[in-house]
Amino acid sequence: MLGQIAYALPFLAEGFALTLWVSLLVVVLSLIAGVVFGVGLVYGPAPLRWAVRIFSDTVRGIPILVLIFFVYYGMPAVGVHLQSFWAAVLALTLFKTAQVVEYLRGAVASIPKGQSEAAMAIGLTFRQRLTYVIFPQAFRRFLPPWINGVTDAVKGSALVSLLGITDLMQAINQVIGRTYEAMPLYILGALLYFGVNYALSLASRRLEQRFAFIRE
């Protein structure tokens, strides 16, 4: 039994690497898009605020799985054909972006209005106010839910296996299909997912402590 699993290890490692790659892409892309749209939601003109609000509420109200199928199977109907890999990344990124928007909005809203006013009063421009006054303070509020979201992204990436993409989950299922060793393989998979997420939450705790000097 162990021999068979050992034989499959390189294959599993490839799946694991793909899981990490998908997660990383989704986390980075959703962070960028979420911060941009989040700033739009808090400070933008009314039409932009409305657009972001509708996007965020809609996407958060749909199961990720539906979103993945929609992007992969639905969008070709309007002429958009994506490879299964990119369809999966896009769907997961949309979902994460909607969450990042909310984390950012909450974190920025928690900064007292007087901070912006004091920054305005010394002549800082909008961008400078965000960079030097608002974001450094909002960061501490943003971090814990965001890291939670990152671990969700790693776990959620297992859904891409449903598009036939050979991520860790898919690799495990295929090896089980050949070896019928379900239990040890699922335990191995669980340990790998857990290991990544545990490392993330440790890193998050470190970061939070580093920024704990900011009041509250």
- Note whether 117 binds other proteins by CB under 8 A: yes
Taking contact as CB under 8 A, which single stretch among the options 14-22, 90-98, 124-132, 162-170 is the one that binds other proteins? 124-132
- Residue whose entry in the numeric block shows the structure tokens 């509708």: 54
User: In this structure, what DSSP letter does residue 123 have?
Assistant: T
Calculated CA dihedral for residues 159, 142, 36, 98, nearest 10 degrees = 30
Total H helices, total E strands in the chain:
9, 0
CB of 40 to other proteins, least distance (A): 16
Q: Which long-range contacts (CB under 8 A, 24 or more apart) does 81-90 make?
A: 84/160, 84/163, 84/164, 84/165, 85/22, 85/160, 85/165, 87/163, 88/22, 88/159, 88/160, 88/163, 88/165, 89/22, 89/25, 89/26, 89/29
Nearer to other proteins, 126 or 180 (CB): 126
- Note whether 109 binds other proteins by CB under 8 A: no
Nearer to other proteins, 3 or 209 (CB): 209
For 50, the token pair is: 């409305």
CB of 137 to other proteins, least distance (A): 6
- Note whether 132 binds other proteins by CB under 8 A: yes
Nearer to other proteins, 76 or 136 (CB): 136
CB of 128 to other proteins, least distance (A): 5
- Note whether 126 binds other proteins by CB under 8 A: yes
DSSP string, 103-121: HHHHHHHTS-HHHHHHHHH
Nearer to other proteins, 27 or 130 (CB): 130
Interaction pattern, residues 177-216, with other proteins; x per rule: CB under 8 A: ------------------------------------xxx-
- Note whether 123 binds other proteins by CB under 8 A: yes
Q: Applying CB under 8 A, what is the total number of residues that bind other proteins? A: 21
CB of 208 to other proteins, least distance (A): 14
Nearer to other proteins, 1 or 121 (CB): 121
CB-based contact 152:201 (threshold 8 Å): no
Spell 83-107 as b/e; 16+ CB within 10 A means b. eebebbbbbbbbbbbbbbbbbbbeb
Q: Which stretches of the chain bind other proteins, using CB under 8 A?
A: 112, 114-115, 117-126, 128, 132-133, 136-137, 213-215
